[in-house]
Structure 1
């Protein structure tokens, strides 16, 4: 495991893993790699895995931007992946109190680097939202898992 990231928790009962990552752009790639590793362990692949990776990239990128905008050094970003029987939940915690903004206007430049991330999250996820906490917020997105057939 990278010295940059610290493993926080894993629970076989909850099928969840959580990490704390530095608030810098390199954490986006690290979160994607860790998600791929965890999805392989959970035997989740294909289009679902690709969508989860894209959602994770968007959510962590937004968290990094929220941290960079803060004037003082801030704590790390929290990332949590949760697998239940019927869904995969991706959670990213940052210290910003600002609500994420969905930019659905057609005025976003085609070449713009930002402005459409949450529109993409809304299109790919079966649901997403924000939970406010004492220190910042958690932005989450969920994807439905295929129904398993009983043998």
Structure 2
């Protein structure tokens, strides 16, 4: 895990930034909107690339609404399609605590979601911001298609 947002982010081919309610409904919507945007960028909803990205978005969004929720504050989803065929997913919440708990105990009831993020992504990390934190992951999607 990297501790800060990578300073070398290429100019994106495409970008989507949304604020969503810090509720389970907002987390589900984040996953659906990510799938819709990836389809618009040429990665069909049923493709492996889209499926992987949806899993990562779902996990990061669920963590934002479960552990990063501050009453009255939304969370933010940002997707960047980078030229080298990489998707950068950023989920920002209003809670500034940057400690992330990764649970590897097979008997634990939860906490293994970040293990999934680590396995599915090329790299991931957490960074502070003025209010809250951003948890990010970069996924290799393959050759970047033309943005529609």
Give the structure-2-normalised TM-score.
0.81
Q: Give the number of the structure whose alpha-carbon radius of gyration is greater.
A: 1
Query: Any residues of structure 2 matched to 1:112-151 within 5 Å, and which?
Result: 112=109, 114-147=110-143
Structure 1: gaps spanning 5 or more residues: 1-11
Query: Per-residue CA shift, 1:17-62, capped at 9, x if unaligned?
Result: 1000111110111111111110111001311110000000000000
| Number of residues of Structure 1 aligned to a counterpart in Structure 2 | 131
Q: Does 1:23 align with 2:30?
A: no
Bigger shift: residues 91-100 or 16-25: 91-100
Higher RCO (CA < 8 A, seq sep 6+): 2
Task: Spell out structure 1 runs of 4+ moving beyond 6 A.
Answer: none
Cα distance, 1:74 vs. partner?
3.3
CA distance in 1, matches of 2:141, 2:49: 8
| Superposed counterparts of 1:1-151, under 5 Å | 14-45=13-44, 46-68=47-69, 70=70, 73-86=71-84, 87-98=86-97, 99-108=99-108, 112=109, 114-147=110-143
**3-state secondary structure, aligned to 2:73:** coil
Structure-1-length-normalised TM-score: 0.79
RMSD of aligned residue pairs (Cα, Å)? 2.0
Q: Distance in 2 between matches of 1:25 and 1:14?
A: 30
